[in-house]
């Protein structure tokens, strides 16, 4: 599903045009963005008063070293 999001300020100009343009494409839905504020407010966390932490999501490296490999020239 693909959403074509139209800002509320441009709804009168674009919504009908885009709806007609994508009428034959069942994978596209035209919607109007009616949000007036951000969903996340600054300074607040979902869990309460603790600070938000950014973590490195990459997998940790395996400890140690790889063995040396002898490579014969080809």
**How do the domains of the chain map onto residue ranges?**
2-33
pLDDT of residue 73: 77
Q: How far is CA 27 from the centre of its chain?
A: 19
Q: One digit per residue, pLDDT tens: the chain, 74 residues? A: 999 999 999 999 999 999 999 999 999 999 999 988 877 666 555 555 567 777 777 877 778 887 888 888 77
Handedness of CA 4, 9, 14, 15 (dihedral sign): positive
Looking at residue 46, its pLDDT comes to 57
Euclidean distance between CA atoms 47 and 50, whole angstroms: 7
What per-residue confidence (pLDDT) applies to 19? 97
Q: Answer whether 33's CB lies under 8 Å from 9's CB.
A: no
Backbone angles phi, psi at 6, to 5 degrees: -105, 130
How many Å apart are CA 74 and CA 68, to the nearest integer?
18
pTM (predicted TM-score)? 0.51
């Amino acid at each position: 599903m693909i959403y074509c999001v139209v800002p509320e300020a441009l709804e009168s100009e674009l919504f009908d045009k885009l709806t007609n343009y994508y009428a034959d494409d069942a994978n596209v839905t035209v919607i109007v963005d009616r949000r007036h504020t951000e969903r996340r407010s600054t300074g607040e966390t979902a869990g309460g008063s603790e600070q938000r932490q950014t973590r490195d999501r990459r997998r940790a490296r395996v400890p140690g070293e790889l063995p040396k490999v002898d490579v014969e020239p080809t």
